A and B are shown apart, each in its own frame.
Chain A
Amino acid sequence: MRVFVPISVGGWARLFSRWDVLAVLLILGLLVFLGTASRHLFQPLAELQRSPPSLDPVNLPEYAARTTLRMLVAMALSLLFTFTYATLAAKSRRAERLLIPMLDILQSVPILGFISVTVVFFMALAPGKVLGAEFAAIFAIFTSQAWNMAFSFYQSLRTVPTELIEASRNFRLTPWMSFWRVDVPFAMPQLIWNMMMSMSGSWFFVVASEAISVGNTTVTLPGVGSYIALAIQQQNLRAVGWAIGTMLVVILIYDQVLFRPLVAWADRFRFEQEPGIIAPRSWVLDILRRSRIVDRMTRPFAALWHYTMIPHRPNVEVAVKHAPQTRRGWIAFQSGLIVSVLAALALWQSASFILEGIKLADVGTTLLLGLATLARVVVLIALASAIWVPVGVWVGTRPYAALLVQPVAQFLAAFPANVLFPIVVSLIVAWKLNPNIWLSPLMILGTQWYILFNVIAGASALPAELRAAGANFRIRGWLWWRRIALPAVLPYYVTGAITASGGSWNASIVAEVASWGNERLEAKGLGAYIAQQTDAGNFHHIVLGIAVMSLYVVIINRVFWRPLYLYAERKFRLG
């Protein structure tokens, strides 16, 4: 809540400040953007066919606007999902038992799998309209954004300090009020960081989701993604270049207009306030804050928002729910029963669906193909670690270098690796390389950066005193790496490697099959299998492929990454 300043304080000295002018420009720009980007929504689908996307760069601003709008709508949906799903999981013990494992599984399902399976459903929602295809694309982008945001929010809610919760209860805040005044602010910094990661990650899937083709259903939505797809199909390198340039600009714009202001604004929600850290700033936020017009325009909304916080029923005592021991057991039994019944139903449904069109041999094949992809992921993560851990430590222990490299690494992570596929494919074809080996690096092109910037973060967090102690005892070379650097970055490295490994599985669907015009290269693997079955519109096999891939990811997470993470946290986390 803002401190109310009487209107006379500003006087009549200046009717409009320059901040007002800038703010009006910003807002107008936003309105124009929304208008252009959304005006085609209710066109019939046939319209799309009549004016197919063209590679003329003149179209790119509009395409970029439409793609960005899709991503923003998906982001809004992801936030809605986060606020409801994660809150329910954090506030209700019973719901938590089901919702958190579910989220874990959802995270492991390859995102492109969601598109193949759901596109028909979404097309049916708005038959014959572009809207249906838009829904499908937005849903696919949503699935690439929502899960980690929900996880971060859930974890934040679980760690709100007890005294803050007690204080808010002692002063009898209504649940709605304490959600917005306590829970959300506490979770905000972490949530915004995850929103940025999600936005970056979703570029990768924009390319796939705008040119949807499942069996006979092919829809191409105008956007940067479909532009890239077309450029690849027509072997137009210049157009690929244009697309990359456009993405660069778009990423820069939303970083400046959306995320930087958010980060600067959310700085006050940081719970631990270490002194000496420079508060992030944003010119956009400064403009919005200093403009009186914006202040006056938003005031009614602020008042409305404030109104929802006022307790309207008499603020009576909120009884503490305290189920007695016996009832607790009964409730646990009941919920256990419901969950098992639901699980059995789901198992029966999917098993019968898959089994309908699948032979046992298919299952064996997919499992074997999964092993091939697994081998790729393992080798690639090992290679990427061997390269980026030393680089990350080197950069992280030099504050100046870290300042320069960190944003670049984050940008590279945002960069959809699929636009680089054409170059790789043409090289493989030209030099007659084995696609089984040389297509593999594509899988990790986009995800290796998570290892790099997590290691940089870990190395910069190494206390100066420990570094000084190392220097004082003249610890150098391999001993320094073994005893100081590697243990210090291990928890961070594991976090990055988990993300990179999950992302590589996801990317395999795109990376194991690559094409450049008529050249089509395939590697043997589960990703290629899913891609082929998607092209053939073979639903049973798509679902089988997705199920096997999720299985692999879940098992690897449970038996390898999670224990490693817990070990690293326990043993090497500083402080």
Chain B
Amino acid sequence: MSTALLDIHGLRHTFPKADGGDLLVLDGIELEVAQGQIVGLLGRTGSGKSTLLRLIAGLAQPSDGTVTYLGQPVNGPAPGIAMVFQGFALFPWLTVLENVQLGLEALGLPEPEIRKRALAAIDLIGLDGYESAYPRELSGGMRQRVGFARALVVHPNILLMDEPFSALDVLTAETLRTDFLELWGDGKLPIKGVILVTHNIEEAVLMCDRILLFSNNPGRIIREIAVDLRQPRNRLDPQFRDLVEKIYVAMTARTPAAQTERQITINTALPRVSANLFSGLIETLAAAPYSGRADLPVLADELHMEIDDLFPVAEAMQMFHFAEVEGGDIKLTDTGKQFVELGTDDRKKLFQRQMLTYIPLAAHIRRVLQERANHVAPRSRFLDELEDHMSTDDAEHTLRAVTAWGRFGEAFAYDDDSGMFSLENPT
């Protein structure tokens, strides 16, 4: 181990908001990547982990703090840092070979060397025979192999991976992970370190030497977990399961629980969860084998949900006081159990009651509508209020979430053509 490959110190990043203010997305990030490590950045959507990856790649500049690569500050796309993208980002008008060669052409290397290295990378990554194919002729797995070959051919010191397996089906993703780990373990890859962004807990435990857990809004590193298991790792190994459980506990201890403790206000960003998913999960939890209480990793596994799918529902159920989340477990409250017993109309009434009691934004909209003589109010009014406190996207999502809930609970109606909330549904 010589000098650190990458050193991030005191990093802070903001995005400009619609009203001219700044929205904090990353705060107080400290990170050192040594040679020979695979470091995982694990968190939910909106935790700023992809943004951090782009800051490391030099695609954007941090608002504050430093990113140092091999002792040099990163001021723009640096040689020796290559990226693999979630959506592959292949150029559809270039063949596999041309896609792989592109990065080398940009380096201005002589033609024979470009060909030699490109063919070697294609060979290494198992793309032999596909050189003259266009990306559209390939399956998703093969396309991402091209993405890997294209990144590796420039012989980067650091390989950045932005959820590289999340657009692939389960089996293909597993094959690609195993192949990658094998090449990495055999020292066949021309890279010295890897940073992997993921929201898949098992993927992180399977691949990484260190896992950094990110909190949401703003993104902070809340915990670092070292994975000392030997490669190749076995998902069924009790030690592996323990680590997964430990991460679930760490993530639930922090995010949804903290949300309820911190009083929910009119301006709290709401998760966009459909009422159907809501009811479905409550019913599943109430029934056997869970009988009102479930271990989150087990539930996630059983329902084939990743944390990005599961956590928002859990969070929303907690906001409505239908469930409680603690220590990696989710438990139905009495209200939650009561919900299951009811018929459709009564469920809606209960849903409405919980919403107007515990979701201040819903109560606020309802109150405004009641106070107005004609019982209508424009959507833009509430959107503007929200945008003062969160990003335009979050405001949009939050308002959509509360609109959908308001419709399900029949607390208020919304007409998209006129952009108006009202108390009355069309009769």
Q: A-side interface residues toward B, CB under 8 Å?
A: 1, 3-4, 161, 163-164, 166-167, 169-174, 177, 181-182, 185, 268-271, 273, 309-312, 315, 317-320, 322, 325, 571
Q: Tell me if B103 and A171 are in contact (CB < 8 A).
A: yes
**Cβ of A319: which chain B residues have Cβ within 8 Å of it?**
75-76
The list of the 5 closest CB pairs from A to B, nearest first, reads A171-B103, A163-B89, A273-B136, A167-B89, A317-B76
Please, how many residues of chain B have a CB less than 8 angstroms from a CB on the other chain? 43
Report the bound CA distance from A169 to B54 in whole Å: 11
- What secondary structure prevails in chain A residues at the interface with B? loop
Q: Tell me if B106 and A171 are in contact (CB < 8 A).
A: yes
Tell me whether A311 and B89 are in contact in the complex, defined as CB-CB below 8 angstroms, given that A171-B82, A317-B58, A325-B16 are known contacts. no
Whole-angstrom distance from the CB of A517 to the nearest CB of chain B?
A: 54
- Asked if B226 lies at the interface with its beta carbon under 8 angstroms from chain A, I say no
Q: Tell me if A315 and B79 are in contact (CB < 8 A).
A: yes
A-B contact pairs, 24 of them (CB 8 A): A161-B87, A163-B89, A166-B57, A166-B83, A166-B89, A167-B91, A169-B77, A170-B82, A170-B83, A171-B106, A171-B150, A171-B154, A181-B94, A268-B92, A269-B93, A273-B136, A310-B105, A311-B108, A312-B108, A317-B75, A318-B76, A320-B58, A320-B61, A322-B61
* Contacts of B306-340 to chain A: CB distance below 8 A: none
Q: Tell me if A163 and B108 are in contact (CB < 8 A).
A: no
- Asked if B59 lies at the interface with its beta carbon under 8 angstroms from chain A, I say yes
- Give me 9 other A-B pairs in contact (C-beta within 8 A), A171-B77, A317-B74 excluded: A1-B101, A3-B97, A163-B85, A167-B89, A167-B91, A269-B92, A310-B105, A315-B108, A325-B16
Question: What's the A-B contact tally at a CB cutoff of 8 Å?
Answer: 98
Tell me whether A170 and B92 are in contact in the complex, defined as CB-CB below 8 angstroms, given that A163-B87, A177-B105, A320-B61 are known contacts. no
Tell me whether A317 and B77 are in contact in the complex, defined as CB-CB below 8 angstroms, given that A166-B85, A170-B57 are known contacts. yes
- What secondary structure prevails in chain B residues at the interface with A? loop
What string of 1s and 0s marks CB contacts (under 8 Å) between B27-70 and chain A? 00000000000000000000000000010011111000000000
Q: B-side interface residues toward A, CB under 8 Å?
A: 16, 54, 57-61, 74-79, 81-83, 85-89, 91-94, 97-98, 101-103, 105-108, 111, 115, 131-132, 134, 136, 150, 154, 417
Report which of A170, A270, A315 forms a contact with B59, defined as CB distance below 8 A: A170
**Cβ of B82: which chain A residues have Cβ within 8 Å of it?**
170-171
Tell me whether A309 and B105 are in contact in the complex, defined as CB-CB below 8 angstroms, given that A167-B89, A317-B58 are known contacts. yes
Q: Tell me if A167 and B85 are in contact (CB < 8 A).
A: yes
**Cβ of B111: which chain A residues have Cβ within 8 Å of it?**
4
Tell me whether A170 and B105 are in contact in the complex, defined as CB-CB below 8 angstroms, given that A268-B93, A270-B92 are known contacts. no
Q: Tell me if A166 and B102 are in contact (CB < 8 A).
A: no
**Cβ of A312: which chain B residues have Cβ within 8 Å of it?**
108
Q: Tell me if A311 and B106 are in contact (CB < 8 A).
A: yes
**Cβ of B136: which chain A residues have Cβ within 8 Å of it?**
273
**Cβ of B75: which chain A residues have Cβ within 8 Å of it?**
317, 319-320
Report which of B89, B106, B132 forms a contact with A174, defined as CB distance below 8 A: B106
Residue of B54, B89, B98, B111 contacting most chain A CB atoms (<10 Å): B89
Report the bound CA distance from A173 to B106 in whole Å: 5
Report which of A4, A164, A172, A309 forms a contact with B77, defined as CB distance below 8 A: A172
Whole-angstrom distance from the CB of B300 to the nearest CB of chain A?
A: 28
Q: Which residue of B lies closest to A303 (CB)?
A: B111
Q: Tell me if A164 and B89 are in contact (CB < 8 A).
A: yes
